Structure 1
C-alpha cells in the first residue's frame, strides 16, 4: 500500500438548486412584502395589497410554483426539507411566512401538492461528475499501490539479520512502525489537500502538500528509528526511505499524477528476477535508490505551484476535520497487516498483494455505485423504489469487489513460486477483511468516516490482542459496517448533499 490509502475527493453530489426570490412590485413601483405573521398550523391567509387592490397570492402557492421542478422529481419529502434548510429558511421564518411548524412540515405539504414526475432513463448514462471515472484509471492506481511491495523483495537480503521481537523477522518492527505512521499522516494530509481541490484552489492544495508531506516523512523516520532495536539500523534506514516514498506518492496520487508515479516505480520491476535468482547487493540498492529518487523528484516538480507566495489563499478547512481520515488510515492499514500475517511469509505476502491490487477494482466499483445511485435518484419517483434499487446496486458492487479479490488472490498464489493455496478459513477471513475495507471506503466517501474508522480500529485492536479471533473480529466489523451502510445510503438525502 502507499500514498493516501485510496482516499478519493469528497463527493460533490448533485447540487441543490437555489430558491428564486422574485421581487413583487405594486402599481406604484413599491415592493410588496409578505405578511408579518400567520396563525400557526393553518394555511397562510391572503393579504390585502397596500394600494387597496386584489388580495396578494398565497406565499405557499408561490413557493410551490418556484420549487415545482425540484419537488416533482423528489422521492421523499426530506429532499425538499434539505433544500429549504440549505436556502437558510429557519423554523421561525417558516411559521411566520407559511404557517407550518418547521421545514419538514412545509416539505411534506409541498411534496403532497406537486404531482410526481420522473425523467425517463437516458439512452446513455450521463457522467456522475467527480464520480465518473474509467476502469483503466482505477486499475492504474491499484497497480501503483501494489508495485512498492517489490521494494521489500529487493531489500530482503539487505535487511537479513537475527530474529526480531514478537516472533517476527529482524527489522520488522521499525518497518511496520514507520509504515503505519505514514499511512495515518498521509491519509489525513490527503483529505486536507482534496478539500482544497474541492474548493477549486489547486495552488493551496499543493501548498498543503508541500508543508505536510516532508513533515510526514520526518515523522515516519523518527518513529522507525525510535522503534529500532540494536542491530536493526539497516531496517530503520530502509524505513526512512519508505517514509520519504509514502510522502512523494501521496503528492503524486492526490494531484492526479499516477502515470508519473508508475514511471518512477518501473525500476522496481527488476525485483522480478529476484524471485528465482540471487541479485548482487549493489544492483538491489541501485534499483531501490533509483525508484525513490525518481518519485521524490516528480513530487517536487508537481509541487511548484504550492511554493508561490500567497498560494495558501484563504484560512483553509479546519485541520481537525482531517483527523477521522487519519484514524481510518490507521484502522484499515492495521487490518491489511493482520491479513498479511499468514502461516508462512509467502502466504501472508500473497494476501497483502491481493488486497492492495484489489483497491483498483474497489475504487471503480465505488464510482459505479455513486453513479448508479445518482441515476436512480433522477429516474425513480418513490422512496421505496429508490431503497430497493440502491440496495440491489450495493449488493452487486460489493459482490463484484469480492469476486475480483478472490481472483487476485488465486492469481497471486499462482504467480508466487512455492506459494501454498489459501485454506478456506484464510480465504474467508481475507474476504471479510476486504468487505470491511470496501464498506469503510464507501462510508468515507459519503462523509461517515468517523463511524468507519472506529469500526476498523476496534476490529484491528481485537485481532492484535487475540490473533485467533481474527475471523470473528473481521466478520463482526463487516456486519456492523453493512448495517451502517444500509441505514445511511438508502436515504435519498444522502445522495443529494
Structure 2
C-alpha cells in the first residue's frame, strides 16, 4: 500500500527568521535582535522548548548568522526649501520690468497729465497687491489652493477698485486721461499679481508682448494714437483674461521719478534707475534664496553662536554685494543704451545703490519675519522725503540720497540684531 510522502520536520528557527527578516537583516549586532525578541515577550523557557537555544541572546546570534545583512540605502537628502533656479528668477525680473515700457507708447496719450493720479493709483495698488500676494501664498502653504484662488479673485477686484478710486480722487480738472491710465494700470497689476502667485510667469510674459512690440515700434517710427492704445489694451486684456479661471514702493518711485520732481519730466519716464531696479528684482530674489540656503547650511555645521554669526555675516556680504554689483551694471547699461538718459554718477549712483540696499535688506528681513519693522522704516523714510519735497527743503537729489542713506543704515542695524539669532532662520 502506497502512503503519502513523509513531511519534512518543521523548522521553527527558519519560520522565525522568515518572520523577522527585516529586523534581522538590518541589525548591526545580535543584541538588537535580542531586544526585539524580549520586547515580544519571549521567555527563556519558551526559547529552550521551541527553538532549542539557551536564552534570547543565543537565539539572536543564531538568527543573526542565518540571515545575510541588507542595510537600507541612506535616505535622500531633504529637498532644499530655499532652492530656486536662476533662470526662473531672471524671468520674473523681466516680467517685473516690461510693464514699465507702457509709458513709452503712452507718452503722447499722457501729455499734460499730472503725476498725482499716477502716483496715487500705483502706490495704492502696490501696497494692496503685496498684502494680497502674502495672503494667497499663506493659503498655498497650507495646501488649500481653492482658498488661494478665492482670495486672489476677490482681492484682485477690490485692489483694482481701490487703486482706481485713489487715482480719480487725486485727479484734477482735465486729468481724466491720467485717471483712466492709472485705472488700467491697476487692473494689470491685479491680474499680474494673481498670475505670479500661481507661478504663471511665462503666461504673463506672453501677455506683455504687445506692449514690448508697441515700445519697439514707437522707438523706430511714430505710431498713431489709436494703434498705441490698441497695443497697450491688448496686453491689458491678455493679462486680465489669463488671470481669470506701499513704503519701499515710494522710495523706488522717488528714485525713478527724480527728474520729474526736479522739473525734467521727459528724461524720467524711462529713467535707467527705474529699469535697473525693476530688472534687478529677479537676481535679488535668487540671491535672497541663496542667503537663506547659506544660513540653513550654517545652522547645520556651526557648533557655537559666534561661529554661526560669522557664517551668516559672510553669506550676507556676498549676496548683498552681488546684488548691488548687478544693479550697478544694469544702471550703467541703461544709461549707455537709452537716448537722452541723464548721466549716471555721483549722487545719482550713490542714491540708486542705497535704495537697492534698502530693497534687498528689506526683502531679507521680511522673509525672516520682520515685516513690521521694515514697513515702519520704509514708510517713515517715504514720509520724511515727501514732507521735505513739499516744503522745498534742499534739492530732490540730495534729499533722496540722505533719506536712502538713513534707511539703509537703520535696516543694516536691524539685520545685525535680528539675523544674528538662529531662531530667525527657521524653515
Query: For the superposition of Structure 1 and Structure 2, which TM-score range results when normalised by the shorter chain?
Result: 0.7 to 0.9
Q: Is residue 2:417 matched to residue 1:496?
A: no
Distance in 1, Cα, partners of 2:232 & 2:296: 44
Q: Is residue 2:118 matched to residue 1:175?
A: yes
Unaligned runs of 5+ in 1: 1-26, 30-123, 162-169, 302-329
Distance in 2, Cα, partners of 1:430 & 1:420: 13
The match for 2:267 is 346
Contact 1:275–1:417 (8 Å) recurs in 2 = no
Aligned to 2:271, what secondary structure does the other structure show? helix
Q: Is residue 2:128 matched to residue 1:185?
A: yes
Aligned to 1:279, what secondary structure does the other structure show? coil
How far 1:376 moved relative to its partner?
1.3
Aligned counterpart in structure 1 of residue 252 of structure 2, from 336, 340, 349: 336
How far 1:364 moved relative to its partner?
0.5
Aligned counterpart in structure 2 of residue 369 of structure 1, from 265, 284, 291: 291
The match for 1:234 is 177
The match for 2:356 is 434
Contact 2:369–2:424 (8 Å) recurs in 1 = no
Deviations 1:360-392 (A, max 9, x none): 111000000000111111122221111101001
Between stretches 348-357 and 391-400, larger displacement belongs to 348-357
Contact 2:291–2:315 (8 Å) recurs in 1 = yes
The match for 1:283 is 227
Contact 2:120–2:163 (8 Å) recurs in 1 = yes
The match for 1:482 is 412
The match for 1:11 is none
Aligned counterpart in structure 1 of residue 378 of structure 2, from 449, 456, 481: 456
- Larger radius of gyration between Structure 1 and Structure 2: 2
Deviations 1:215-252 (A, max 9, x none): 11111111111111111111111111111101100100
Q: 1:125 to 1:358 in 2, by over 3 A?
A: farther
Equivalence map 1:152-167=2 (5 Å): 152-161=103-112
Equivalence map 1:415-434=2 (5 Å): 415-434=337-356
The match for 2:14 is none
Q: 1:126 to 1:357 in 2, by over 3 A?
A: farther
Q: Is residue 2:243 matched to residue 1:299?
A: yes
Unaligned runs of 5+ in 2: 1-38, 42-75, 389-395
Aligned to 2:121, what secondary structure does the other structure show? helix
Distance in 1, Cα, partners of 2:114 & 2:234: 23
Distance in 1, Cα, partners of 2:332 & 2:294: 30
Q: Is residue 2:101 matched to residue 1:150?
A: yes
Contact 1:224–1:239 (8 Å) recurs in 2 = yes
Distance in 2, Cα, partners of 1:495 & 1:229: 48
Distance in 1, Cα, partners of 2:199 & 2:299: 29
Equivalence map 1:303-322=2 (5 Å): none
Aligned to 1:148, what secondary structure does the other structure show? helix
Q: Report the number of matched residues.
A: 339
Contact 1:127–1:371 (8 Å) recurs in 2 = no
The match for 1:108 is none
Deviations 1:114-144 (A, max 9, x none): xxxxxxxxxx997521x21011111111101
The match for 2:80 is 128
Aligned to 1:176, what secondary structure does the other structure show? helix
The match for 1:74 is none
How far 1:282 moved relative to its partner?
1.4
TM-score (norm 1): 0.66
Q: Is residue 2:318 matched to residue 1:396?
A: yes
Aligned counterpart in structure 2 of residue 253 of structure 1, from 192, 196, 200: 196
Task: Pick the structure with more helix per residue.
Answer: 2
Contact 2:271–2:341 (8 Å) recurs in 1 = no
Greater relative contact order: 1 or 2 (C-alpha under 8 angstroms, separation 6 or more)?
Answer: 1
How far 1:149 moved relative to its partner?
0.6
Structure 1 runs (4+) greater than 4 angstroms displaced: 124-127
Structure 1 vs Structure 2 CA RMSD:
1.8
Between stretches 365-374 and 344-353, larger displacement belongs to 344-353
How far 1:420 moved relative to its partner?
2.8
Distance in 1, Cα, partners of 2:195 & 2:148: 12
Q: 1:251 to 1:229 in 2, by over 3 A?
A: same
Distance in 2, Cα, partners of 1:200 & 1:402: 36
Aligned to 1:293, what secondary structure does the other structure show? helix
The match for 2:399 is 469
Deviations 1:161-214 (A, max 9, x none): 3xxxxxxxx232111111111011111111111111111111110111111100
TM-score (norm 2): 0.77
Contact 1:182–1:220 (8 Å) recurs in 2 = yes
